[in-house]
Every structure is written in C-alpha cells, then in structure tokens.
Structure 1
Amino acid sequence: MLKKILFIAIVIVFIPFSTTFADSSSKLEKLDKISDEALQMVKIKRYDESEKLLEYFSDQFLKMTSEEKLFSMDELRIITVAHNEALGAVQDEQVSYEKKLNAATKLRLVMDAVYSYHQPLWTEMEGQIMQTFSATKQAVKDRDSDQFHQHVNKLLIQYDVIYPSLKVDVKPEKIQKLDARINYIDQYRRLVFAESSSQKELEALQTDLESIFVEITEDESDPSLWWVIISTGSIIILTLSYVGWRKYKGDKEKGKTDQEHNH
C-alpha cells in the first residue's frame, strides 16, 4: 500500500513538470537547430537560404515567446540583437564572407548557450583564442608591430563572436571586468606593445578568459536534475510522514476500541 501511495504521489507531481520541461526543451531545440542550419548555409555561401532560415527563426522565436516565458528578459534581448545582426549581414551584399560567417556563428553560439546545460559550443573556441594570445605576445617579444596589430584585431573579433554567449553564461561583474581589459588593450595598443606594465593587461585578460573557460567546462550536474531530486525527496518525506501519521492515528483508535471492549 505504501509503495502505491509513493508512486501515485510522485507521478502526480513529476509528470506535469516533466511534460512542461520536455515541451520547453523541444522548442529551444528547434530554434537551436534552425540557427545551426542557417550557419551551415552561410558556410557554403548559400545566403538566400540562410536568409529564409533566419526569417523562419524570427517567426518561431516570436511565436514561442508570445505563448510562454521561455527566456529571461536579458536572453530575449541578447538573442534578438544577435539574430538581427546575422540577418543584416546575410542580406547585405557588401558585407564580406568572414563577417557573415562571424555573425551567423554568433547567433548559433548564443542559441546553444541558452539551450545547453553542459559545455556550450562557445567553449570550443578556447583553443583558437589562446592561440591568438600566444601569437600576440610573440609579436610583442619579436618587436613586430604589424603582426601585433593583426593579432589584436583577430582577438577582438574572436571575443566579439563569443560575447553574447558570455553574457548568457557568465556573471555580469566578470563580463564588465573582461570588457574593461578588452577596451584598454584596444584603445592603448601602442602602450601595450611598448611598455611591459601595460602588457600585464594582456596577461590578465588571458588569465580571466582561461578561468571562465575552466569554470564553464567543469562537469556540473544538470540543475533540472537537482530540482527533480529535491522535489521527489520532499514528496517522499511528506508521504512517509502522512502514512506514519495515519498509522499512528489508526493504532490509537484501535487501542481505544480495545479498551472499550475490555470494559
């Protein structure tokens, strides 16, 4: 009997939650796939098809957000900005292939960051970014100004591509710290190239980014799983308490009945 009660209690609470979660997850997955398809079309320079996919993304995004609250206000804004940039780049014939690709990648990464719980795609850019840091520092060491500016430009582009995803996955205070370092390196390039004290900002930026990549890629448990474990545990405790109380009450009444019969 106790097993039946426990099973019914868990089913009553867990099924509505799992159904709602699965439905929301499937909608996010759909948007994630559309953004990926749009990116693949840009890669092979089929811009018309990419444009249609991005317009379809917009239609689905608006429909889903009007039906239920799938995103926070920050996520809504971040996704909207990334989508508009990707669509504008694809539509503009004057925009280079590289910029179209970066814009489409940006949307793809931010959509994945919203959808994924573990190791989002943007973390896979760690190797490329760290390689650019190494090349930048080598240019300083070689006193090669042209190479230095070239690698700093590349670093800024790479940071810009993952920036919307960072805003989804990283705390605002860390983003502000990264932004301050990036802006300093960009605005005071000559100092960074010429002075060792200013070069420390480059080292500090590299360290901060490395720590963020490590933090995000750590194997953490799915928050939704913890919610289910806590919820189910609470249900079991409540059910056991209820069953125990009913048993106590039944024993007490039985004792009273026995006493009355004895009298």
Structure 2
Amino acid sequence: MRIKFLLLFSVLLLMAPFAAFAEPTSPVEELDNISDQALQMVKLQRYEDADRLLKHFSEEFLTITGDGRPFSMDELRIITVAHDEAVEAVANADMGHAERMNKVTKFRLVIDAISSTHQPLWTEMEGPIMTVFSEMKTAAFEGNNDQFHSNLNSFLSLYNVIYPSLKIDINPETIQKIDARVSFIDQYRPQVLTEASGQEELETLESDLQNIFDEMTEDEADPSLWWVIISTGSVIILTLSYVGWRKYKGDREKTKNVQKERKN
C-alpha cells in the first residue's frame, strides 16, 4: 500500500507543472501554451498536428489583437515573421527535422519572451552559446581554420534561434551593436583569424553576450517552466548535430572530389 501511495504521489508531482499550463489565466498564456504544444509535436515529428496548432495559434492571435491586446508594432512584426517561418517549416517535407525544430523553437521562444513574467526561456541557452563561442575564440587565437569555421557556424545557428527573442527583451541600441559585431565576424572570417583587430571583436562580442545573459538571469525561474526548458535542451543538441553533420558531409564530398581528380 505504501508503494502505491508513493507512486501516486510521484505521478502527481510530475503532473503539477503541466497543470499550470492546462488552465491558462490569460489569452497570452493560451498563445504560449499553443506554441509549446506545436514545438512538442515537431519534436515527435508529428508535423500535421503541429501545422494545425500553428493555424489555431493564428486564429487566437487575431482574436486577441482584435480585442485590443497592446502588442507593440515591433512585437507584432516579430511574432508574425517567426510564426510564418514555423508554418513554412512544418509544411516543408524537404526540410530536415533539425532545421524544422530550429524554426519552431525560434517561434516558441518569441512567444515565451512576450508572455513570460519570469526568466525567459532563451536565457537557458546561455551555456551552449557561450561554450561554442569560447571554443570558436580559442580556435581563432590558435589559427585553427577548420575548427574556427565549424564553431562559428554552430554559434550562428544558435544565435539565430534566440535573435528574435533578444529583440523583444533587450533594448534596440544593444541589439544593434551585437548584431553588427556578429555580422562583421561572419563576413570577415579571414581577418578574424589573422588580425588582432578581428580577434578584439571576438573579445568584445563575448563580453556583450555575457552581459546580456547576466542582466536577464534571475535567481529563480518559474518552476512550471522547467519541463519546457528541458525540452528546449534537446533542440540545442539537434542544432549542433545538424551543423556538424553538414560540415562532415561537405568535407567528405570535398575529399571524394580530390580523389577523383588524382585518379584522372
């Protein structure tokens, strides 16, 4: 009997976070719930279900905005763009699963950034982003060309996922400075590898990114969000795996071409 009681108690504990989402107290929380359900469906590769949820989101969103929900013009634009990308991703059978996850995760993080009254979900990607950035910087300082490009591609993929959410939570001047540095490092990769000024840009960008995460991080996140945060972690792994796989595939094709040329 005691074992049965403990099992029942454990199940109730596990269900507690979901109960917080089961009865949203506002229309915006309902939108947040729908966006999360869509992400879970994509994670399970149930793309048709995800598509239906995204269409349902659109209907609810129109109702809320029609009732005078005070979204700013920037928020409306960011939500619309992220939603359109998510819809396109779940409907595109030619798009890989990891890329679909990235698009819908981006949308999910945008809605959370708008609705969250606690630590936004995008801050939970601090660890992977700063780790990849540190490895990229080390590769640049050591002149490791291949490792630098690989880590930079991984960083850009992760940065792209959280970028719309940053524009919601961070002031425009800060975002413009960071985005300009990211664009410079991506566009002028050879200079970053060989010139001191380029490597100084890496140092400055690393500091700017860390400041953003530090400013947004609170002591405690809403406990009901932890199950969503855990789900988001799998997206990070998929993102890095996807980038690594593309690089590996490209290197293999390059090797095959070289071997063919030698034979000829």
TM-score w.r.t. length of structure 2: 0.72
Residue 67 of structure 1: how far off its partner (Å)? 1.4
Residue 219 of structure 1: how far off its partner (Å)? 5.7
The 3-state SS of whatever aligns with 2:26 is: helix
CA deviation map 1:164-215 (0-9, x unaligned): 1111100000010011101100100011011222111111111101101111
1:84 and 2:84 correspond = yes
TM-score w.r.t. length of structure 1: 0.72
| C-alpha contact 2:141 2:199 (8 A) present in aligned 1 | no
RMSD: 1.8
| C-alpha contact 2:136 2:147 (8 A) present in aligned 1 | yes
Q: Aligned runs of 1:54-203 on 2, under 5 Å?
A: 54-203=54-203
The 3-state SS of whatever aligns with 1:136 is: helix
Equivalent-residue separation in structure 2 for 1:217 and 1:78 (angstroms): 22
Identify the residue that residue 211 of structure 1 maps to in structure 2. 211
Task: Give the percent of matched residue pairs that are identical in Structure 1 and Structure 2.
Answer: 55
Residue 218 of structure 1: how far off its partner (Å)? 4.0
Identify the residue that residue 27 of structure 1 maps to in structure 2. 27
| C-alpha contact 2:102 2:161 (8 A) present in aligned 1 | yes
CA deviation map 1:3-53 (0-9, x unaligned): xxxxxxxxxxxxxxxxxxxxx961010000100010111111111111111
Q: State which drifts further: 132-141 or 174-183.
A: 132-141
1:49 and 2:49 correspond = yes
The 3-state SS of whatever aligns with 1:95 is: coil
Identify the residue that residue 260 of structure 2 maps to in structure 1. none
Residue 149 of structure 1: how far off its partner (Å)? 0.7
Please list every run of at least 4 consecutive aligned residues from structure 1 whose deviation after the TM superposition is greater than 4 angstroms: none
Residue 94 of structure 1: how far off its partner (Å)? 1.4
Equivalent-residue separation in structure 2 for 1:192 and 1:25 (angstroms): 49
Residue 69 of structure 1: how far off its partner (Å)? 2.2
What is the identity, as a one-letter code, of the residue corresponding to 2:61? F
The 3-state SS of whatever aligns with 1:29 is: helix
| C-alpha contact 1:64 1:70 (8 A) present in aligned 2 | no
Equivalent-residue separation in structure 1 for 2:103 and 2:191 (angstroms): 31
| C-alpha contact 1:86 1:104 (8 A) present in aligned 2 | yes
Residue 70 of structure 1: how far off its partner (Å)? 3.6
Relative to 1, partners in 2 of residues 1:25 and 1:190: Cα closer, same or farther, differing over 3 Å? farther
Equivalent-residue separation in structure 2 for 1:149 and 1:190 (angstroms): 10
Identify the residue that residue 232 of structure 1 maps to in structure 2. none
| C-alpha contact 2:31 2:57 (8 A) present in aligned 1 | yes
| C-alpha contact 1:35 1:57 (8 A) present in aligned 2 | yes
| C-alpha contact 1:28 1:115 (8 A) present in aligned 2 | yes
- The runs of 5 or more residues in structure 1 that have no matched partner are 1-23, 221-263
Equivalent-residue separation in structure 1 for 2:72 and 2:162 (angstroms): 19
Equivalent-residue separation in structure 2 for 1:118 and 1:201 (angstroms): 32
